[in-house]
Amino acid sequence: MEYTKCINFLLTIAQHEVFLVFSENLSKFGITPGQYGVLACLWKDETLTPKEIANILRVENSTISGVLDRMQKRGLIDRILNPNNRRSISVRATKEGLALKEPVQKKIEELNDLVLRNFSPQEREEILSLLGRIGHLQLEQS
Amino acid sequence: MEYTKCINFLLTIAQHEVFLVFSENLSKFGITPGQYGVLACLWKDETLTPKEIANILRVENSTISGVLDRMQKRGLIDRILNPNNRRSISVRATKEGLALKEPVQKKIEELNDLVLRNFSPQEREEILSLLGRIGHLQLEQS
């Protein structure tokens, strides 16, 4: 098999290139792609536990805790007592975090259009669906 | 736009999942996916400069230099005087690096089949081609 036909190589190259574009453009709002992910969750559901956010974003609990620390320091989120269980902590967006919703969502749409600008609408559907299938597979180890 | 339809999110999740499978399986040969990339270049072209390898693998020169250091320490590659230009350094696979060719290439084919096992041959062609197009685009910044 040609190295350049290896799914791991192709995914890594494509992810790296697209991630750079998103990073650079989101830095103008003072956020990273990962922080955008957290905000997107909190724009949809007002309060979530760190564990719920980690599950939605498919990252480790230990990863999300560092991301939340930086976002709290930056004034984008608050940690509050969970309204449903006062022994646990929930996260919600601050006023500043909510104010980013409109401009950031607009930029995200633009970046998706930019990255996929040479794709037909059908190819665009196709790549999203195929990537979703790879990402959500519970792969057995051989 | 739904967060889960964002190309950056889908690529990151898929890459992470597939990279883990490749990492775990290649670790049985004592190599990382990145080191497999270097070996694949040297199995094809006997000697290459670090810069040529970095270009093929689409990584920074500074990244490749650390990878080559670890591979040399592990006995997989040698640095030699460039046969075409004795002021520059080339890289070649050692006997041990060459001995990995057959078993590692076999494993790589198996892992591609595993990761894409729920894809029809046509879908498999499709995902490789679409990823290649994303990865090789010179994206303009908006």
Q: What is the pLDDT of residues A2-47, one digit of tens each?
A: 888 999 999 999 999 999 999 999 999 999 999 999 999 999 999 9
Question: Chain B partners of A38 at a C-beta cutoff of 8 Å?
Answer: none
Q: What region, left, alpha or beta, does residue A137 occupy, with left being phi > 0 and alpha being psi -120 to 50 degrees?
A: beta
Whether residue A141 has pLDDT greater than 50: no
Find residues 57-96 of chain A whose CB sits inside 8 Å of chain B. 58
Nearest CA in chain B to A5: B128
Residue A139 pLDDT greater than 70, yes or no = no
Give me the pLDDT at residue B140, please: 45
Inform me whether the pLDDT recorded for A138 exceeds 60. Answer: no
Pairing of strands A85-93, B77-82: unpaired
pLDDT of amino acid B1:
83
- Provide, as residue numbers in chain B, all residues whose Cβ is less than 8 Å from the Cβ of A15: 11-12, 14-15
pLDDT at res. A140? 45
Question: What digits encode the pLDDT tens for the residues B11-31?
Answer: 999 999 999 999 999 999 999
Q: What is the pLDDT of residue A88?
A: 87
Asked if residues B49 and B82 have their Cβ atoms less than 8 Å apart, the reply is yes
- Judged by CB atoms closer than 8 Å, whether chains meet at A11 and B7 is answered as no
Distance from CA of B131 to the nearest CA of A (A): 6
Alpha-carbon distance B78 to nearest alpha carbon in chain A (angstroms):
21
Residue B142 has pLDDT above 60, yes or no: no
B139 pLDDT more than 60:
no
Cβ neighbours of B18 in A, within 8 Å: 7-8, 11, 134
Return the residue in B4, B7, B111 with the most chain A beta carbons within 10 A, the one to mutate for interface testing. Answer: B7
Query: Could you read off the pLDDT of A45-65 as tens digits, one per residue?
Result: 999 999 999 999 988 888 999
Is residue B103 within 8 A of residue B67, CB to CB? The reply is no
pTM for the whole structure: 0.87
Query: Tell me: the pLDDT tens digits for B123-136?
Result: 999 999 999 999 87
At A76-132, the pLDDT tens digits run 999 998 777 778 899 999 999 999 999 999 999 999 999 999 999 999 999 999 999
Q: Give the minimum alpha-carbon distance from A72 to chain B in angstroms, rounded to a whole number.
A: 21
Q: Do B7 and A40 lie within an 8 Å CB cutoff?
A: no
Residue of B nearest to A140 (CA): B114
Q: pLDDT for B60-107, tens place per residue? A: 888 999 999 999 999 999 999 877 777 889 999 999 999 999 999 999
Q: Mean pLDDT for chain B?
A: 92
Q: What angle do CA A6, B73, B23 make, to 5 degrees?
A: 30
How far off is chain A from B107, nearest CA to CA, in Å?
A: 10
Contact A119 B133 (CB under 8 A): yes
| DSSP result, B52-103 | HHHHHHT--HHHHHHHHHHHHHTTSEEEEEETTEEEEEEEEE-HHHHHTHHH
